Amino acid sequence: MTTAHGVQTLTHFIGGEMVEGTSGRYGSVYNPTTGEVIAKVPLASVEETRKAIDKAHAAFPKWRDTSVAKRAEVAIKFRNLLTANMDELIQIICTESGKTVEDARGEITRGIESVDLAIGAPHLVKGEYSVNVGGDINAYSAKYPLGVVAAISPFNFPIMVPLAQTSMAVTVGNAVVLKASERVPMTALYVSELWKKAGLPNGIWTVVNGDKDAVNEILENPKVQAVSFVGSTPVAKYIYETGAKYGKRVTALGGGKNNMVVMPDADLEQVANSFIGAAYGAASQRCMAISTLMPVGQETADRLVDILKVKIAALKVGAYTEADTDFGPVISQQSKEAILAAVDRGESEGAIVVCDGRELDIVKESKGFFVGPSLLDHVKPGMEIYEQEVFGPVRNVVRVASLDEAIQLINDHELGNGVTIFTNDGFAARKFTTEIDVGMVGVNVPIPIPVGYHNFAGFKGSRFGEGHMFGPDQARFFTKTKTVSERWMTTSTSTTSTFAFPSNND
């Protein structure tokens, strides 16, 4: 990385080395807290991306043939380096994403869960063996890595999502090409150095910075066997359809419009506290953030909104360097403008603005990309702010008369990432978890993100393909199963030809 006038010029990480870009195209990396450009990131050309994939492809056979125990040992060293360098990682994440220190630390911790699961790869890739399935034939299955696999990661989790997408892929024996978000590339480059220090062979971990040119080469290149993507729903659909067209295994996770249903028997003070963190944490830039509050009954809604007015007004929006900051800026000026416009449109469509994040001084005066917390009440299906995901601190209240109405509204929506219910009624909770058509469900849990050893993925327009981001399905997604039937001939083995379909009658 070079520095000119306080602005870094970043690189790619290819073949175990930091490699300068040659396309001549660069993107700007901002510090969202100040609005300043802090780095220039190279945007790889098709040819640069292809060469990076070629190097990964050349490195793969040796890593594939390395024992799974040795690969797990490298993952253990990598995990230890993540822990030892956590403070530096926090600073990088906060600088390029605007997250608070607490949020960045939590993200790293959750990312390490994926590494922990990958360390258990020797168990997860065990095959099966059957003796004498018929005619002195033994049958066994074994899992093999795919080859070169790719991950395309979003800006909102600079380390957790890339680790979730790649840790298992590396440990089960693949060569990984990561196309990190060009908005937060510095974290991925730092992680590259940790993989190298852990002893990962050159070429097994690659970071290509870029935009659509790099993405399309990844999707079309025949040497890439699988693609994992996390981002918006329209792009997830494009990734899935294009990757599948070129014969790749693809899992593409899209957006979420996540709901919190509140039953009349719930403790509304606890609900309000849970909602505040789940709705506004990280400036609501989480695919699992609660977007919509659904109180059941008018009395429940009125009481809950009154409590929330006070709590939301007390939230502190500011820089991660300031004490007691609850959340920081959004990722870009374009995002800020889109979020503020969403409040305008919601109000024009008839929603009532209970808390107005447009009016904070920091929103109007700072050069950073700050947006205050907004809460819109009496939002109804059909309003744009209900139908579309707002990736920023604008949350909705949709009043429903019954649990059945809440379930129907949620199931009718095109997205199905996460949902939760707050209640003390076991029957209501069971009905909800049974009937809801959403991939990740919480009961009195505000953000039902599974731990690293359970599968993570939504339903409907929130996921394309059958893979998952966390959990044991990662091992299945990044391996292929080969089944072998073997028999060792003896002098007594019949040599007579048979034309019947093979069976186990012998």
Per-residue pLDDT of the chain (506 residues; tens, 9 = 90+): 555 557 999 999 999 999 999 999 999 999 999 999 999 999 999 999 999 999 999 999 999 999 999 999 999 999 999 999 999 999 999 999 999 999 999 999 999 999 999 999 999 999 899 999 888 899 999 999 999 999 999 999 999 999 999 999 999 999 999 999 999 999 999 999 999 999 999 999 999 999 999 999 999 999 999 999 999 999 999 999 999 999 999 999 998 889 999 999 999 999 999 999 999 999 999 888 899 999 999 999 999 999 999 999 999 999 999 989 999 999 999 999 999 999 999 999 999 999 999 999 999 999 999 999 999 999 999 999 999 889 999 999 999 999 999 999 999 999 988 999 999 999 999 999 999 999 889 999 998 877 777 777 888 888 888 878 777 888 899 999 999 999 988 776 666 777 766 666 65
Confirm if 121 and 476 have CB atoms less than 8 A apart: no
If asked whether residues 81 and 207 sit together in one domain, one would say yes
If asked whether residues 151 and 276 sit together in one domain, one would say no
If asked whether residues 324 and 389 sit together in one domain, one would say yes
User: So what's the pLDDT on residue 387?
Assistant: 92
Kindly state whether residue 424 falls inside one of the protein's structural domains: yes
If asked whether residues 95 and 234 sit together in one domain, one would say yes
Token pair in block for residue 17: 């080395």
* Measured CA distances, 430 to 1, 171, 425, 439, 473 (Å): 54, 38, 9, 15, 26
Tens of pLDDT, residues 234-292: 999 999 999 999 999 999 999 888 999 999 999 999 999 999 999 999 999 988 889 99
Label residue 341 exposed, middle or buried (CB < 10 Å: 0-12, 13-18, 19+): exposed
If asked whether residues 220 and 271 sit together in one domain, one would say no
Cα separation, 344 vs 363, whole angstroms: 15
Kindly state whether residue 431 falls inside one of the protein's structural domains: yes
User: So what's the pLDDT on residue 449?
Assistant: 79
Sign of the dihedral through C-alpha 249, 255, 259, 260? positive
- The number of residues in the chain equals 506
β-pairing verdict for 148-152 and 2-4: unpaired
Domain that holds residue 151: 44-254+462-483
Token pair in block for residue 487: 């028999």
If asked whether residues 298 and 311 sit together in one domain, one would say yes
One-letter identity of residue 256:
G
Kindly state whether residue 453 falls inside one of the protein's structural domains: no
The number of distinct structural domains making up the chain is: 2
If asked whether residues 312 and 406 sit together in one domain, one would say yes
Go through 148-160 and write b for each residue having 16 or more CB atoms within 10 A of its CB, e for each that does not.
Answer: bbbbbbbbbbbbb
User: So what's the pLDDT on residue 2?
Assistant: 57
Q: Report the CATH number that the domain containing residue 301 is assigned in CATH.
A: 3.40.309.10
User: So what's the pLDDT on residue 459?
Assistant: 82
Cα separation, 10 vs 29, whole angstroms: 10
* Measured CA distances, 395 to 197, 223, 310, 436 (Å): 43, 43, 15, 21
Tens of pLDDT, residues 60-75: 999 999 999 999 999 9
Kindly state whether residue 34 falls inside one of the protein's structural domains: no
Kindly state whether residue 346 falls inside one of the protein's structural domains: yes
User: So what's the pLDDT on residue 506?
Assistant: 53
User: So what's the pLDDT on residue 40?
Assistant: 98
Q: What does DSSP assign to residue 282?
A: G
Q: What residues contact residue 409 under an 8 Å CB cut-off, 6+ apart?
A: 259, 294, 381, 398, 400
Kindly state whether residue 457 falls inside one of the protein's structural domains: no
Kindly state whether residue 381 falls inside one of the protein's structural domains: yes
Q: Which long-range contacts (CB under 8 A, 24 or more apart) does 441-444 make?
A: 442/418, 444/420
Confirm if 284 and 392 have CB atoms less than 8 A apart: yes
If asked whether residues 230 and 302 sit together in one domain, one would say no
Kindly state whether residue 16 falls inside one of the protein's structural domains: no
If asked whether residues 188 and 200 sit together in one domain, one would say yes
If asked whether residues 216 and 272 sit together in one domain, one would say no
94 counts as catalytic:
no
If asked whether residues 415 and 471 sit together in one domain, one would say no
Instruction: From 487, 486, 467, 464, select the one nearest 476 (Cα to Cα).
Output: 467
> Which one of the listed residues 287, 354, 394, 403 is annotated catalytic?
287
Token pair in block for residue 325: 């900051």
User: So what's the pLDDT on residue 505?
Assistant: 60
User: So what's the pLDDT on residue 5?
Assistant: 57
If asked whether residues 287 and 220 sit together in one domain, one would say no
Q: Report the CATH number that the domain containing residue 143 is assigned in CATH.
A: 3.40.605.10
